[in-house]
Structure 1
Amino acid sequence: MALETYSYKVDSDVVKDEGKNRFSRDDDTLAAGSGVVVCGTVLGLVAATGKFAPLAPGASDGTQNAAAIILQNAHATDEDVTVVNLKRRAQVVLQALVWPAGINATQQAAALAALETRGIVARTGV
């Protein structure tokens, strides 16, 4: 029997510096229908509900704009889930961020710029 190897990313793999006393984090709602979301996924904010969902560059509901980074694994297929998000003043590892399939360089740059307006700076190998 082959040995199975699992790789789990945790918040310390994503966040390398943040505000004192975890000021950079908040408990938020991950919207039902988001599916399985892994730590480091870039999120957008659904304007109509105030809930978060994975970044969707082609959307027009607010999730086209990067607003946070989830700091845990979550399963929000059938119902809303309370999660911990990074939302302000932090440095993150660029390579640890999880992007939607098919995102292009221009969309990724726009998402990184949107995170920077919140004080979240992505750096290569911080």
Structure 2
Amino acid sequence: MTIKKEPIHAGEFLLSEGAGNISRETINVAAGAALYSGQILGLVTASGDFAPYDPVAEDGSETAVAILYGSLGESDIVRRARAVVRLAEVSEAHLTGLDPDAEQSLATHFLIVR
């Protein structure tokens, strides 16, 4: 018997968000590996593109500022995506890259981890 595991759906990490589209923005994500819905993102200062949160980086991505809404495939060019950037409650179990520093940083954007 083959067991199939269903991947996380776009926005599945959201518990609640602001009315209308106030919680989400269209963003540019730096080229790189595939990313999944719920990935914590930082903002690369030099390019203005978002990248996976990396607490040891020194390019701006060491500060968590957003959460990727839907999955992205691997790419060697900048990708367009949607991210939750403010006013939302999110499920800790559905986030990728979360650590205590990221949780505190997200809270400054009113992204509350439950």
Q: What TM-score range do you get, normalising by the shorter chain?
A: over 0.9
Residues matched between the structures, number: 114
Structure 2 residue corresponding to 1:109, chosen from 100, 104, 109: 100
Unaligned runs of 5+ residues in structure 1 are 101-107
| Paired AA for residue 26 in structure 1 | E
State the Cα RMSD in Å. Answer: 1.4
Change (3 A) 1:71 1:12: closer
Distance 1:11 1:19 in 2: 17
Aligned to 2:106, the other structure's residue is in SS state helix
Match of 1:56 in 2: 54
Displacement of 1:99 after TM fit?
Answer: 1.3
> By percentage of residues, which structure has more helix?
1
Normalized against structure 2, the TM-score is what? 0.93
Q: Write the mapping of 1:8-87 to structure 2, written as runs, cut at 5 A.
A: 8-33=7-32, 35-87=33-85
Taking the aligned partners of 2:92 and 2:17, their CA distance within structure 1 comes to: 15
Structure 2 equivalent of residue 119 of structure 1: 110
Specify every segment of 5 or more residues in structure 2 that has no aligned partner in the other structure, as ranges: none
Check the 8 A contact 1:31/1:76 in 2, yes or no: no
Q: Residue in 2 aligned with 1:104?
A: none
Which 4+ residue blocks in structure 1 deviate beyond 4 angstroms?
A: none
CA–CA distance in structure 1, aligned partners of residues 74 and 42 of structure 2 = 15
What is the aligned-residue identity percentage? 29
